[in-house]
Every structure is written in C-alpha cells, then in structure tokens.
Chains A and B, each alone.
Chain A
Amino acid sequence: MPQIRNFSIIAHIDHGKSTLADRMIQLTGLVESRNFRDQILDNMDIERERGITIKSQAVNLPYVNSKGEEFELNLIDTPGHVDFSYEVSRALASCEGVLLLIDASQGVEAQTVANLFAAMEHDLTIIPVINKIDLPSADIDQVREQIEVDLALDSDMAILCSAKEGTGIEEVLEAITAYIPPPEGNVDQPLSALIFDAHYDPFRGTIVSLRVFAGRVRPGDTIRLMSTGATHKVEETGIFRLGREPRDALSAGEVGYIIAGIKTVSDTKIGDTITQDADPSPSPLPGFREVKPVVFSSVYPVTSEDYQGLTEALEKYKLNDAALVFQKDSSAALGLGFRCGFLGLLHLEIVQERLEREFGQSLIMTVPTVEYHFTLTNGETLSVDNPLYYPDPATIEKAMEPFIKTSIFIPERYVGVVMDLCLERRGVNSRFSYPTPGRIEIQFDMPLAEVIYDFYDRLKTVTQGYGSFDYDLLDYRKNDLVKLDILVNGERVDALSQIVHRDRARSRALNACERLKEEIPRHLFKIPIQGAIGGTIVARSTISPFRKDVTAKCYGGDITRKRKLLEKQKKGKKRMKMIGSVAIPQSAFVAVFKADNK
C-alpha cells in the first residue's frame, strides 16, 4: 500500500504556484510531456488568462521517494484570491501540510502572510519553498531572513527551486514525503468526509471533491449530507489523476471524488460533512459555514428579448458555482433582470466574463454594492443590498455599513501614497509594522464599499505594482449614508443609483457624470447628466450634440460601402440600452463603478 500525503500549495499571486504544480505533475510522470500544457490544473480559459485559480482542484500524484517507498501525494490546488478564502480554508482543512511558496525576488507579500496564518489555524506542517531562484533579481538571503523574522519559520527548512527551469522539484517532493505527516483516521469508525469542492459534469451531475477523515465510502452506499440531511446513493468513487479514475472505495486519509446523482453543485455545500445514512457520524466536521455573498449587483440583458436566455444561462452557470446567488429583479430603466450576490469583486467579474464568454450573453451590470443595515425611527431594522430599496431618508435613525480589516504590504517608499489612498477611502485606525527592513505592513479599518470598486487597481498603480493586499470582514459601523441618483437627460436611471457615504457623494457623482460623458455617444440633442442626492443636484456634465455628421460624397454607385457602415452602427446601437431617448452603451454602466481611475 502506498503511503498518503495530503498537501496544498499556498502563495501570493504570481509567485509561481501553477508552474510548480505543473512541474510536479510532469516529474511524477502523470502526464507525458507531449500532452503537457502549462497551468494544467487551471481548466478554465479565464483561469489561464488571468493567471489565477478559481476553483479548487485535486490531483493524485504517484511518487517513489529516494528510499524506494511508494507514495500517493494528493495535491489540492486552492483558489488564489481573497474572494475565495472560505474555499481555501476548506481545502486546507483537507491537508496535513502545505508548501508555502515565496518568490525569490518579491519576497513575503500580504497573501503569503494571510495564507500562512490560515495554514497555522489548521495546524498544518509548513514547508517554505523559495521559487524563481533563477531570476537575476532573486535575493535568497533576504527571503530567508523574511522567513525567519516575518513568518517565524525555520529558514533552514526552506527548499530552493525554480519551477520555470524545473530545478529543485525533486527536493520539494522529497520534503513532502519526509516532513508532512501521514493522515490519521480510523477506517472502522463511521464515515466522515469533508466536501472541499464540487464540479458540475453535464453527463454525471455533480462531482464532489472530498477528503475522507474516518470510515470508508463505496459505490452503492447511501450517504447523507449532514447540513441538509439529504441522502444520495453513491454511483462511483475514485481519485483524480488527469481525469477521474474510479476506485473501489475511498477510505480514511484519502482524497478523491464521489458521484452520487446529485443534480447541481448547489445541492452540495463546501465544508459540509458526508456520512453514511445507515451509520452516521455523531457530529459533523468543524468549520462549516454557509457561504454568504458580500457584494451585490444586478444583471440585465442588453435587450429585453434576451431575458429568457439570461435566465437559462444563469441557471446553467449556477450548476457549477454554488457561491453565486441570484433572484429576480426589475428596474425601471433596464427591465427584468437578476439581483446577484458575489463573494467579492473578482468573483463578480468572473461570473460576468463567463456568462458573456461561455454563454454568449450581453450583460449590463449595475454598480456593485455591499449590504447596509438601517435602523428606522420606528425601531425596525432593514438590510439593504440594492440601492432601489434605500429607505426614505426621513425615517432613518441609524445607518451601518460593513467594515474590513485591510492589510497592505509595501516597500517603505510608498507609505505616503498608500496612506493617502487609504485615508481617501475612509480608512481609520491605522497600524504599522515593519516585518523586514525596507518593508512595511499597514493595517486599516476600512469600509468594504470603498474597496469593492477599484481599490486594488489603485493600490497597484500608486505602488507601481509592489503593493499587495488582503482583507478580513470586521464588523458593521455607523455612518452617514446617502443615496446618489444619476439622471440622464432628466431621467433617473435606477440602475446607476448607489448608496455612498455623504462625504464621498459629491466626488462619486462628479466622477460618474464625467465617465458617462465619455461613454455615452453624442446624440442629435444635448444630453445633461446629473448626480443628485434627494432633490439636490450635486454634479453635472453635458454631452454636446452632433454639430455636423454627414459625409460629402456617396461614392458613385458604391452604395454598399455606405450601407455596411450604417449596418455596423445600427448593430452597435442595438447593443445599447435606450433610456428614454438616450442610447447608453453597456460600457457606461461598467465605467460608473470603475470610478476614480484617474
């Protein structure tokens, strides 16, 4: 029997996680080089393009170490973004150890630290790996020092590698077998298995990724999902190699999948415990919670005829993304649509992009917002995640908004600009620490609403790419919140309304007016754009009309050229949303929430 090791790789974005995984897969001979492609675990186009992992993924690597002992190494690849921190925590809960990957030239970053803490919470063995040692700018000594001082880990343990060049990979695999403890767990106890992910397969239904902690599961068993009590009959159990590889059973300590006639991934909950219906485990595994969306936005089809198509696309998409929640919504400006909840802004962007790319939808998304809490004068409390339902200001006793704790890592020289940025975004209660000479960690309490727009982009800009950022939800705090409306040609466009802090309302409004002025094409008439709080106009801009738009010549009999141009313009116009008599392009709705880009 091969020994088992369950591990994950954690790293700050771009530190080379996918490349290291690729190399390990290659070295263990799981895939022949000629069939190999980069980022082999990132199946989705969008993952490859953005260089991030969105879904957790497991792969079972057969490996014989230098002593000739046989192993099965289960690599659980985790998403690399704070939006998916709960998924990451469930993946980590399925492991006994992690490789903490650090870029030799970038050093320790915000997510390195956040990831380390997450691994420590799960009491995992941590093996520091210094990657990209082939880079001319690699500073191994500096990184070793950071590992000692900043992470309080033993830097002698650190393994040097270059995943890109393929050096040091053998050492990494050896370290996994040597340092990461084998899984514990009793096969004779009742089944207790942790769901760390689920994928949808159009032929087989939901493929549940799990880690078995106790007992055993076999085809034919009737299993029970402990959070819902739902039962299913297991059709297949197996492990992940390059594809699925059926096995007779999955036993305590093992990582693999089950197929059990579960229709959609939403019928499973990440973090839930699977047990035998006949002989249940007395208690579920710890750490389960319902994933709650924190960012909300409405999605509308560009033309109302596409509503049915959007409905179907969302339902299909949802099969594979349990984190997305949506319900019917309607807007005076945009017609029928859906109110959606996301794990964060990246999640939102991913959903939008995949709906457009994989399902061919043309979407309009409204300004993302967080969930606000209002206490009314009559004592009632109200949760509002849609500006449409902002209560009558006269009845508001108290308005609360969610705060986060941000932690930002930067080289010292950027302290000034980052402080300015955070203060501008209503950051309070700043703390500093100096993990290593020349580097600073700044912590702020900040409204989540200020971060979901473009904070990360701005941070990257002001720090020339050197800043890194991570956050945790903190609490709800009282603030002076108002609803900002945008009027186009005198008509309020409800889809452009946002709830903002009073102090920020004017600058947001100005920004929205300017951005809309850039995005909305000129018309035959003048179009005023206004930002208003209640009845007060706080900002305005004007789109001037065409003064002249005609070409002198229709070239001889070549009418075709003229018509083709018109057809193209007509098509473009069809993709715009008519608000009264103004055609607003899709991009305008996006531009408004990508505000403050200057």
Chain B
Amino acid sequence: MIAINWILALPNQCQQIMSVNEKIVTDLVNNNVSFITTVPCKQLAGVIDGIDKCDDIFHIPSNKEDEGMGLCAGAYMGGKRAAIIMQNTAIGVTINTLATLIQYYHIPLPMLISYRGEIGEPVACQVEMAVHTKALLAQLNIPTYHFHHPDDVEEFDAILKYCFMSKKPVAILTDASFWKGA
C-alpha cells in the first residue's frame, strides 16, 4: 500500500525508498507536466492522491476520458504540458478523440493507464477490454509501454521525454503486478 504522507518528504531524502507512486509524480514534475486530468481506477488511487497533493500540478478530474483529452488539448495550446490518467477501458471511449484531435493536431499526450484484466485481476469483466487493449493501441499506431515489474517505472522519465519530443499520444499500461510495488 502507498504511504499517503510521502509528499512531505524531501525529494533527495526519499530517492532510495521512493515508491512507484512517488517516482511517477516526481518524473511528471521534473518533465514540467503541470496539468493532469484523471478518471479514477482502484489501481491508480495512490498516484491520483499524490498528484492531487502536489503543488506543482493542477489536477482537474474529468467525468469521461474524451472530455479529459479535450481539457489536455486546450491546456497544451495554452502552453502547459498535460497528461491523462485513466483505466484501459477508456481506450474504448476515446478512440475518436485520439484519432481526430490528439493525433490529427499533433498534440503530445502521456496516458498513464491502469491495465485492468491482467494476471491478478479479480473482476472477470475487466478481462473483456484487456484482451482488446494492446490491439486497439497498435491499430492506432500509439507507442505503447507495458509496466509489469515495479522496476519498469525507471523508464517513465524517458517515456515522457519521448512523448513531448514526438508530439504523439503515448500509452503506459500499468498492470496489477506493477502496482503491487506501489
């Protein structure tokens, strides 16, 4: 489980014990991501909490993920780096927005996605979208990374840099095994 008071710790004091949630929030801040919209998922509760408490990030919860991508597109055009945090079921909601807004206008958008329906999943229905998730992202030519081990978070910083360099949506799928390290 995540420590809820981690944000109080000084960054240089928590490097060695930095949890997955801490590392994600720290990397977002270090890459100047200052506008984040979220639609909750149980697996993402800790990182959403960290973002909400972070003074360097404006957190704006959205009611649906396509709405959230609209907010991010606007914030980007306003000069902020934006990101979305959502569940993989949202891929089904956002395909049109990804194709006709984010990709069509060349807007960079890191998408931190909880990958429900993978090994360790207790809810059978989640598997039904899990089996389509990578295929849909591949069909959209969206660069996709799958975090399975907690150590995979080490690549998050480079993925953010790649996303803003390429001005593309980039998906980071984070499964239940990964979040065991949170």
Note whether A and B form a binding pair.
Answer: no
